[in-house]
Structures are given as C-alpha cells and as structure tokens.
Amino acid sequence: MATQLKQPGPAPRLRVENYLSGDFAKAENQHLWTKVWLVAGREEELRNVGDFLTFNVATESIVVARGKEGLVAYHNVCPHRGRRLADGCGRASQFRCKYHGWTFNLEGKNVLVQDRDDWQGALDDERIDLWPVRVDSWGGFVWINMDMEGESLTEYLETIPEFLDPFELEKMRFRWKAELHLPVNWKVALEAFMEGYHVAATHPQLLPVAGNDYTQSFAQGKHAHFGYWKDMQPIGTASPRLADGGFRDARAGVIEFFRQIEEDLNAIQTDRDFEAAKKIMDVLPEDVDPMTAMGTAIELGRQAAVADGTDYPAQLTFEALAKAGSDWHIFPNCVTLPYFDGAIWYRARPDSRDPENPDKCVFEIWSLKRYGPGKEPEVQTRVITDPFKEGLCLILDQDIANMAEVQAGMKSSKFRYARPNPVQEVEVINFHRTLEQYVLGQAQA
C-alpha cells in the first residue's frame, strides 16, 4: 500500500445540504440515478428464461428479465397510458398491462394492442415498444444503466474487477436478505459502512478480538476502499487501544472473533467458518502464536468448504485478500465486505414511494455465501419497517442506531458541514466528490 502522506491543506468538509436538501435529492433523481450503472439484483434471481424482477429507484422503475438471448431490461411503463407493467418478481413470457391489456414480449416489442384498428394504421409510425435500458452482469450481480450512451459496465467499474474478481462473488448465493425502511438519507445509511473509524466507539465489543482496528482508505476513481494495512494484526488479537493484551490463548481469541461475527453479524465469515475455527483447540497447542492460530482457522474453513461440496476461491491468495482490503464503496449506492467464504453487500436508495424526500431511504443488506451444489437455501427478504423496534443483530443494530441520530443531528443550526477523517474516511470524502460532479456539475451546465 502507498505510504500515507501528511495531508496538506485544510481539513476536508462535506456539505450538509447533500443529506438534507430536497433540491439536492431532486437533482440526484435527475442527474445521478439515470446516468450510472446500478445493481438491480442478483443473477440467481433470473436463472430461467422468463424470470423477471423489478427495480425501483428514485422516480424510475426498471424491469429486468432473462430473455431467450440473455438478460434484457426495460423501463417498467406501458407506452399507452403510463401504467407500470410489472410488479415485484416472477416468471412471464410477456409483460401485459393490467389496465388495457397492451402486451409486450421479452424482446420489448409490442405484440398486442386491443382494438388496434381504431388507430387506422396511425400506430404503425408511433413508438409502442418498451423503452430499453442497458443491462450487464458482473460478480453475479445484474447491473442496469438508464443512460443508453456512455461508458460500459467494465469501464464504469474501473479497478474493481482487478481487486474483487478473486473473491468470486458470482459463485456466492443469498444466505439472507433484509430490506430496511429508514427515516434517513440514503447516503447516511450507506456511509455507516464506508469506514472503519467508527468501530472502536460503535462496536467496542469487537476490540478485544478484531486485531488492530486502525484503518487506511483510498480512492479508486469513483469508487474507494479501506483496509487494515498499517500495523496489521491477526484476528483474535486485541486492539492496541486496549491496555490489556486480550486473550492469553490465541486460539480462544480467534474462536471468539468467529463467534461474534456469526452471532452478531451473520455475514462475511460464515457458520461453516465458525464451526471449522473451533477445531483449532484440538489441532494447535495452547501457546500457539496468533498468526498461526488465524491461518489454521482459515485453512480449516477452506477444508470445511471442500467437504461441503464447494471450496474457497482459487485465485484468492492472502496477497489478493490484503490488496483488496476489507471494504469497498461501489459508486453510488453499494458497499461490500468480501471474504473467502462469504460477503456482505449493502445497497441504499431513496424510498421510491417518496422519492424527493431526503429523509427517507430503502436500505438492503444481503449476506452471501458459497454453497455446495444444491445446498443453496430458498431465501425470502425480511422487510423491516421500524428498525429501531425490530432488531437484526448486535453489530448491525449498533450501526443502525447511529443513522437516525445522524440525520437528526445534522439539522442542528450549528452543524454546517461534516468533518471527515482524511485518512480513515476517504471512502466518504471520495463519495461526495464524485456525487457532486454528477449532481451539481451537470445541474450547473
């Protein structure tokens, strides 16, 4: 990793209007969501010809389907009178408007206008097919872009495939899914997962076992990542912020780390990893060093994955893992923390039932895992409309508790701008820099 230089110049600032202004939310709807590549879903949701899903963002609704020739995507609106065509997800050979029965095939072509003769041929020159949307896939995710021109998905993702391809996200499947309806700006929700600087204060229970919690963060074009590169310590050891050394028995520290992740997050590392890690008590001596304890737990996790009919990703060496770091912001609205056996993926967007309200968002959390053939579970989305009453798990509840307090706190007359950490919160800084290029740059043009 590059050496962190002393930051010259003034401390970075984030405009509070980006989170609170209705005009900014409207400008995002106009200049951001319709111009960028967005994750619409997972390829596993569109396995068979005719499978479809709808993706609503801001004021737009997109339907994505598996057509006979591959993935297709259209604006989810009937050209006749504007009714939305598809709802939710399912399987269909055609999109039929429930209002007047106009019907479109999977290629988006209009195949039926009821009483078409009424137009006496005038419809022949009229646009009555569905409006296409660009669609592509990477990492097992289905991506759409409403802008029919501009960069391809590969160009848009910049260096992300170089860093994240080794994780084989496309081979993971849903372990669980949650959809939270939150009274906060979509960026407030997402940013709770875009830095490691909050871990010591928000998740203090992790400090005895999560290694050195000090992070560095770097921009990668529009996107950014953070990692534990400086004075890295193996998992199972205590943060240097703590006066005591944590667990005397390195094995117990490693197992406690996996236990906390399994019970308090239920993502990234997996239940299989936790079960495998427990075996280090049998195969390692009491005085083993922390690095060996962690490395052995990971190797046992890999063996457990093989025994279960899968494996750890072949290209994901320790070097590749270190190069990627721990956490990626994928502009504009996704964050992922990938690991050998699983990953967590977050997606935030304005609440499309109230799209110009900067105080509302829909925030999704997807836990992904590698499964042996045929062992993938059937996963239903858990919809949580009041996350402050209905909890998920300790770590996520701690993060969510901050969100509403941030959204409310930023409305203070004294709070004019945020002051992000220039070393550890570059993901957030880079996010707003890029966002303003889209939202303000184009608005002023």
Kindly list the residues in this chain that would bind other proteins in the complex (CB under 8 A): 49-50, 68, 90-94, 96, 101, 103, 105-106, 111-112, 114
Closest approach, Cβ 97 to other proteins, in A, equals 9
- Nearest-approach distance from CB 85 to other proteins, in angstroms: 13
> For residue 215, which of 7, 425, 419 has the smallest C-alpha distance?
425
- How near is the Cβ of 107 to other proteins at its closest, in Å? 8
Cα atoms found within 13 Å of the Cα of residue 401, Cβ hemisphere only: 13
The minimum distance between CB 47 and other proteins, in angstroms, equals 13
Nearer to other proteins, 80 or 171 (CB): 80
Greatest extent of the chain over all pairs of C-alpha atoms, in Å: 88
What residue type is 9 in one-letter code? G
Contact 140, 43 (CB under 8 A): yes
185 near 358, Cβ under 8 Å? yes
Residues 104/111, Cβ–Cβ less than 8 Å: yes
Residue 123 beta carbon to other proteins: minimum distance, rounded to whole angstroms: 15
Joined tokens for residue 228:
């534990």
Residue 109 or residue 230: which is nearer to other proteins going by CB? 109
Question: Token pair 């592509």 is at which residue?
Answer: 136
Q: Which is nearer to other proteins, 108 or 338 (CB)?
A: 108
CA 69/CA 89 separation, integer angstroms: 20
- Look at residue 333 and give its three-state secondary structure: coil
Identify which of residues 16 and 128 has a Cβ nearer to other proteins in the complex. 128
- Nearer residue to other proteins within complex by CB, 44 or 158: 44
Name the minimum Å distance from CB 56 to other proteins: 21
Determine the residue type at 160: I
Q: Nearer Cβ to other proteins, position 74 or 229? A: 74
Contact 399, 190 (CB under 8 A): no
